[in-house]
Amino acid sequence: MSTYPQKKLDPKWIREGIKDETIEWAKSFGEFLQKDDIRNHGSGPLTSSQIRKFFGELKRIQADPIKYGEDIPLLKAKLAYAVGRDANRSGGKLVYKSKIKEFYEELETGINAVRPKEKTDINNFVKIVEAIVAYHKYYGGK
């Protein structure tokens, strides 16, 4: 079974439901996010505090999707801000301290798949992010 980075987040998992391949992907993505690849990819592991800020907003929306469902697209802006804060210029190019950019790029696909006020979509997306967070921690994420 292919895993991250060969396999990307599939929007079907949000609209059609969680499958075994979803959990395998979340496992490989969570492991990738906690690895220190400064020498290979130029970025260190994603921190738990970076994940928590995003996850807290997501849980707020999940608590009342009728009231907050329209805030889902704003999650992309919040992640983009975190990516911008993480970047430094080095030799004319952007270098990231952590893997927040990869986190943003994968979760942007999921955010785009969530239909505002569709409780099932929101719940499936939350489950996927929860699995990523769990495996990030399992593999030593700090």
> pLDDT tens for residues 87-130?
888 777 888 889 999 999 999 999 999 998 899 999 999 999 99
Q: Which residue type does 12 have?
A: K
Interior angle at CA 34, CA 32 and CA 39, nearest 5: 80
Q: How far apart are CA 125 and CA 127, in angstroms?
A: 5
Residue 1's pLDDT is: 55
Q: Please choose, from the candidates 27, 40, 28, 31, the residue with its C-alpha nearest in 3D space to the C-alpha of residue 131.
A: 27
This prediction has a pTM of: 0.91
More confident residue, 2 or 88: 88
Q: How long is the chain?
A: 142
Per-residue pLDDT band for 42 (boundaries 50, 70, 90) equals low
Residue 25: pLDDT band with limits 50, 70, 90 = very high
Mean of pLDDT values over 72-83: 95
Structure confidence at residue 95 (pLDDT): 83
Q: What residue type is 66 in one-letter code?
A: I
- Residue 34 token pair: 């906690």
Helices (H) and strands (E) in the chain, counts: 7, 2
